[in-house]
Every structure is written in structure tokens, then in C-alpha cells.
Chain A
């Protein structure tokens, strides 16, 4: 019972860290994608470098740097802030690549037809390329979200009291060993399976709508 309570306390933080990091990642990914698509070599190079930097360093190192390394004046990031921010910017790099791929999967003819019809750039993005990109990105996006759900456990290393943090704390205190981690594992599966199902459902539904 105590064990379930420990995990129940961790659960909201796991979900919170995942959702916030995903939101930050999605928003920050957009300007990065714009940079990766830029014809300006300097902007492109900077975006490319940023993505490689974010992905090249292990997330746990980012969290340590943000949590222990950054103190702007008197301001220090809380464990939760550092965790969300760190996972968020790393997510941004991966999501930027996912979005970039999805955008380039939109056939050239869609752009040409849009231009020939005289659409404004904004219309092309919101009505033509955007929706098709979103569709193409859904499977990879949810796969990434499921990965992020599990990677949010990395935040336990800087003391964010999410599921893994609470589980290991409980294990240490109660001495009951491995069992709590099995329960934690079960919770992760319960969280990620519906996400996967939802993604597949959306994918199938949209494929059917425009089926060949």
C-alpha cells in the first residue's frame, strides 16, 4: 500500500514533466525547423549546429548543467524547472528533425499548385503544407512522446520526485527491493500503450479519409 502511494505521488510529476517538455520541445522546434529550411547559410549552419549540439550531449548531462551549472545572479533553477527545460530543449532538436522530414515529404506539386493558384505563404502553411505535415508527423511524434515519457525518469537524477525517484526512495527506505520497480514498469506501460493506440487510430483514420 505504501508502495502504491509512493508511485501515486510520483505519477503526476512524470506526466507533468513529459507534457511540459513536449510542449516546450514542440514550440522551440518550430523556429529551429525554419532555420534548418533557411536558404541563408549562416542561419542554416547555426540551426544545424544547435540540433547537433542538443542531440550530441546525453540528456542527463544537460540536466546536470542546467541544475548545478546555471546560476544567473541569485536565480537558480529548481529541479523541476531544470528537468523540464533540459528535456524540452533536447526534445526540440529531435522534433525539429521529425518536422523537417514531414515537411519535405509533402510533394513539390503541392507547393507548385499553391503558388500557381496565387495562395499567400501563410495560406500555404496553414491550409496546404501544415495539415499534410501534421499528418505525416503523427506516427514519429507519438513514438517520440512515448520515448519522452520514459526519459522523463532522467529528471530523477536531479531530484525531481517523479515515478522512478519515488520508487527508488521507497525501495531504499522499505528495503523491499525490486518489487516497486516492477510496479513502476507496469505504470509506464499503462501510460504509453494508450498513446500508441491513439496514434495508430489517428493514423488509420486519416489514411482512410484520403485512401487510394
Chain B
């Protein structure tokens, strides 16, 4: 297995994310079986697949929002083994290395946009209020949201809220950004704003794992495409290749369903 992974990953540098033999069940419902994945530095991995395939679960296991039953997760050298007890310290280190963006943004509704982005820096990185605000404003500017700083999130459109959530995660300086269907709760026009920001982020060399139904993004921005179904990875490789010539019948069926919609 170890051998295989190294062959699949031609980069000589250590991958930023490595997931090994991940398994997870809810009661008798096996949601993930033996999922292994590695994400190279600076690459964008898009993850697609039918509903219930386990895409979100893989992503949520990566930063231990979900406790896997077995397997190993290494992010930026911080290793978590499902079999062993995780120390709070290594959990904190792992989560600091991974920024997460949710489908429903999950901004803090009782804080202004600026506080949303600054509070984590103060609490997690130990920044001063001034340092944090400076960084936050810089990020909000980059997201085109400088004028929203003093608003409450609920006064912002969905697309704006998602970009705020991206800024909040970026503010902690993660090595990898995990996106779980970041545009699925948005109108298509608004989703474009978010996709633009993600594209820009990818172009600056951010390592990203993106669960998405946006095939254009998967094809044009992603370096690696992962197709999941029934709790496993059924296909992975170059996006153009897979979309043009899927090897697996299940992939073909899924792509037909998505593209013909």
C-alpha cells in the first residue's frame, strides 16, 4: 500500500494531505471503506460523486469533525491515527493546518463580519486585536468585501457570506483548504463570485480539496479529480481525462446524470 501511494504521487516533496485506509460507519451503515488519498502541495483536488457517496464524510474526517473508525490522516506532517487516542495538542495542530469552508457558511451571526474573521486569529493564533483586524481587512479587501466589515453576516448575500467564511479560514494561515460544496447553497450567479475567489486562491498556490458539483470548476481548475461512490474512491486522475473517458461504469452513469441536467 505504502509503495503504491508513492508511485501514484510523482511529486518528490511530501504531500500536504495524506489519507490512508480511512473507514467509517454509522452503526451498521458503512459510509467509508478503505479510502486513501494524497494531495500534493499547491494542487487542487476536486471530489465528485453521487449524493451519499461519502464525500463530505471524507472531508470532515480530515480535520476530525467526524471521528473515523480506522485509518490514518496526515496533514502537513501532523499525524492522526484513528486507532489511537488523539491528544488535544495534535488535534489543534491538525485543525490549524486545515481551513474548512462549509456549504452553509456557518458564520457567527452575533458578530460583525470583521469580528468573524478576527476572533479566530485572536483565539487560535494569539494575535492582538490590531494585528488580527489588519489581517482581516486585507483578506476582506482581497475578497472584495472591505465595505462589509462592520455589517452583520445576515445583511450580506449568500455569495458574500461564503467569501467571508473563506476569509475567516484563510486568516489562520492553513496549509490546505477544504471546501464542502461551497456553492451548492447559492444561486448560480452568486456562486460565480465564490468560484472566482477560489480560482484566484488556487492560482496563488493554495492546496485545496473541493467537494463540488461544479463540473466546469472540476475540469478547468482542478489538477486531480476524485470520483467517489458508495463509500469508496472508484476513480481518480486527471480531470479532463476522466470527464472525457471515464473508466468506471458508475462514473459514466454519474457524469451522464450531472451533465444532462
Contact = CB atoms under 8 A, between A and B. Distances in A.
Interface residues of B, number: 28
A210 B109 contact: yes
B152 A127 contact: no
Nearest to B88: A120
- Pick from B63, B102, B106, B165 the residue with the most CB of A within 10 Å: B106
A172 to B, nearest CB: 53
B110 interface: yes
A113 B106 contact: yes
A128 interface: yes
- Pick from A112, A113, A115 the residue with the most CB of B within 10 Å: A113
- Pick from B95, B104, B120, B165 the residue with the most CB of A within 10 Å: B120
A207 to B, nearest CB: 10
A211 B109 CA distance: 9
A131 interface: yes
A119 B96 CA distance: 10
Interface in A157-212: 206, 209-212
B187 to A, nearest CB: 16
Contact of B100 (A110, A116, A120, A212): A116
Contact of B102 (A112, A206, A211): A112
A117 B109 contact: no
Interface in A80-118: 107, 109-110, 112-113, 115-118
Nearest to A121: B88
B172 interface: yes
A135 interface: yes
Given A110-B106, A117-B172, A210 B154 contact: yes
Contacts of B96: 118
B168 interface: yes
Interface in B115-166: 119-120, 123-124, 152-155, 165
B95 A109 contact: no
Interface string B82-100: 0000000000100110111
Q: Is the interface of A mostly helix, strand, loop or mixed?
A: helix
A117 B110 contact: no
Contact of A212 (B65, B104, B154, B168): B154
B102 A210 contact: no
A132 B92 CA distance: 24
Contact of B172 (A107, A109, A118): A118
Nearest to A122: B123
B154 A116 contact: no
Contact of B152 (A107, A110, A132, A209): A209
A76 B101 CA distance: 60
A68 B104 CA distance: 57
A131 B110 contact: yes
A78 interface: no
Contacts of A127: 119, 123
Contacts of B169: 116-117
A118 B124 contact: yes
A143 interface: no
Given A109-B106, A116-B63, A210 B120 contact: no
B152 A117 contact: no
B65 A117 contact: no
A38 interface: no
A110 B165 CA distance: 12
Nearest to A134: B110
Given A107-B106, A116-B63, A127-B119, 18 more contacts: A110-B106, A112-B102, A113-B108, A115-B63, A116-B65, A116-B102, A116-B169, A118-B92, A118-B96, A118-B120, A118-B124, A119-B124, A123-B123, A127-B123, A132-B110, A210-B109, A210-B152, A211-B154
18 contacts: A109-B104, A109-B105, A112-B65, A112-B102, A112-B106, A113-B165, A116-B98, A117-B95, A117-B169, A118-B92, A118-B120, A118-B172, A128-B108, A206-B110, A210-B110, A210-B152, A211-B154, A211-B155
List the 6 closest A-B pairs by CB distance, nearest first: A113-B106, A109-B106, A116-B100, A118-B95, A117-B120, A118-B124
Interface of B: 63, 65, 92, 95-96, 98-100, 102, 104-110, 119-120, 123-124, 152-155, 165, 168-169, 172
